Structure 1
Amino acid sequence: MAGMLDYTAGNTVLHRLNPLSKVALALGICVAAFLSDNFGFLLALLVLDVALGFVGGIRKKTLKLLAGLAGICAFLFVLQVLFIRSGTPVFLFATDEGLRTAGLVVLRLIDATMPLALVLALTPLNDLAGALVKRAHLPYKYAFTVTTALKFVPVFTDEMGAIMEAQTARGVEFDTRNPVRKLRLMLPLCAPLLITSVGKTEQAAMAAEVRGFYLRDRTSGVRDYPFRALDVGAFALVAALIALAVVL
Structure 2
Amino acid sequence: MAGLLDYSAGSTVLHRLNPIAKIALALAVCIAAFLSDSFVYLLVLLAFNVCIGLVGGIRKKTFSLLFGLVKICIFLFVLQVLFIRAGTPVFLFVTDEGLRIATLVVLRLIDATMPLALMLALTQMSDLSNALVKVLHLPYKYAFTVTTALKFIPVFTDEMSSIIESQTARGVDFDTKNPIRKLRLVLPLCAPLLITSVGRTEQAAMAAEVRGFYLRDRSSGSKEYPFGMIDGGALAVIVVLVVLAVLV
- Bin for the TM-score computed over the shorter chain: over 0.9
Matched AA of 1:142: Y
Return the alpha-carbon distance in structure 1 between the equivalents of residues 41 and 243 of structure 2: 12
C-alpha distance in 2 between matches for 1:91 and 1:44: 29
Query: In structure 2, what is the Cα distance between the partners aligned to 1:82 and 1:188?
Result: 30
Q: Distance in 1 between matches of 2:189 and 2:68?
A: 23
Q: Which residue of 2 aligns with 1:182?
A: 182
- For 2:241, the equivalent position in structure 1 comes to 241
Matched, 1:209 2:213: no
Deviates more, 1:162-171 or 1:90-99: 90-99
State the AA in 2 paired with 1:117: A
Distance across 1 between alignment mates of 2:169 and 2:155: 21
Q: SS where residue 175 of structure 1 aligns? A: coil
Are 1:51 and 2:21 matched, yes or no?
no
Deviations 1:173-205 (A, max 9, x none): 011111111111111111111000000000000
What letter is aligned with 1:96?
D
* 1-structure distance, mates of 2:132, 2:28: 17
The Cα shift of 1:94 comes to 1.3
Q: Which stretches in structure 1 are left out of the alignment for 5+ residues?
A: none
Q: Deviations over 1:141-178 (max 9, x none)?
A: 00000000000000000000000000000000011111
Give 1:1-248 correspondences, 5 Å limit: 1-248=1-248
CA distance in 2, matches of 1:150, 1:11: 23
C-alpha deviation, 1:91, in angstroms: 1.9
TM-score, normalized by length of structure 2?
Answer: 0.99
Distance in 1, matches of 2:131 and 2:6, equals 19
Q: Which runs of 4+ in 1 moved over 4 A?
A: none
RMSD over aligned Cα atoms: 0.5
Rounded to whole Å, the distance in 2 between the matches of 1:175 and 1:18 is 43
Q: Distance between the aligned counterparts of 1:37 and 1:31, measured in 2?
A: 12
**Deviation per residue, 1:77-121 (Å, 9 max, x gap):** 111111101101112221110000001000000000000100110
Q: Which amino acid aligns with 2:30?
A: C
**2 CA distance for matches of 1:140 and 1:199?**
23
Q: Distance in 1 between matches of 2:84 and 2:221?
A: 53
Q: Secondary structure at the match of 1:234?
A: helix
In 1: Cα distance, 2:157 partner to 2:74 partner? 24
Q: C-alpha separation between the residues in 2 aligned to 1:202 and 1:216?
A: 20
SS in 1 for 2:6: coil
Where do 5+ consecutive residues of structure 2 fail to align?
none
Distance across 1 between alignment mates of 2:149 and 2:143: 10
Cα distance in 2 for partners of 1:130, 1:150 equals 15
Distance (Å, rounded) in 2 between the aligned partners of 1:138 and 1:167: 43
- The alignment covers a number of residue pairs equal to 248
Distance 2:190 2:68 in 1: 23
Distance 1:186 1:208 in 2: 32
Give the TM-score normalised by structure 1.
0.99
- 2:5 is aligned with what amino acid? L
